[in-house]
Structure 1
């Protein structure tokens, strides 16, 4: 079995906020929370234009993940999509996430987005 301990350490029970997502729905005020169990990843997100959302995914490499996500917006829309991400670290030691993503239902298109760990 592959060693996914670094992703577990960087994501498990941690919170993230949007650093850059010009083409996406999440934005200022959206907070993501992740749980990592082996290679399985689950998450929730809400805030900003997102009333409630959840994610399910898996670790695909030593610093890569893929996720499926779905949400209900504050306008009552239901949306779903996919993303492939890279987990890394910024010069302050905070975990960062960079995703390429696309919509599967409720919207069209896609883009790239970046997130940074919220540190208390």
Structure 2
């Protein structure tokens, strides 16, 4: 039997994601996310669009849930940091999906919801 972290690890480790919906946030159609998972520890990088460079660190919190802290440097030179709590799912095509509730901790105020979809290996990065 697989543990919750191995199920999420199988869905996230060394996979790339793009934004499906993020109307209140900075990441958009040009932003690419890449995750690594080791046990229940999650790390990631992201860039593109308005994001010059971003990093994430987090953990698995349940069989389909994760929490992350993130920080980024924008193309306008802003330094921002925030938190998110998310659900890992699977769409009808078998691609991994992510749905987050998030908020800013530093550099900005507010928050919102966002969703992401796995970029298939054959899609351009």
TM-score normalised over the length of structure 2? 0.94
1-structure distance, mates of 2:6, 2:37:
10
SS at match of 2:23: coil
Q: How many residues align?
A: 119
Q: Quick check: 1:85 aligned with 2:91?
A: no
1-structure distance, mates of 2:96, 2:67:
16
Runs of 4+ in 1 over 6 A off after TM superposition: none
TM-score normalised over the length of structure 1? 0.98
Q: CA RMSD in A?
A: 0.8
2-structure distance, mates of 1:49, 1:18:
13
**Structure 1 unaligned spans of 5+:** none
Displacement of 1:5 in angstroms is 1.3
**Structure 2 unaligned spans of 5+:** none
2-structure distance, mates of 1:36, 1:62:
14
SS at match of 1:81: strand
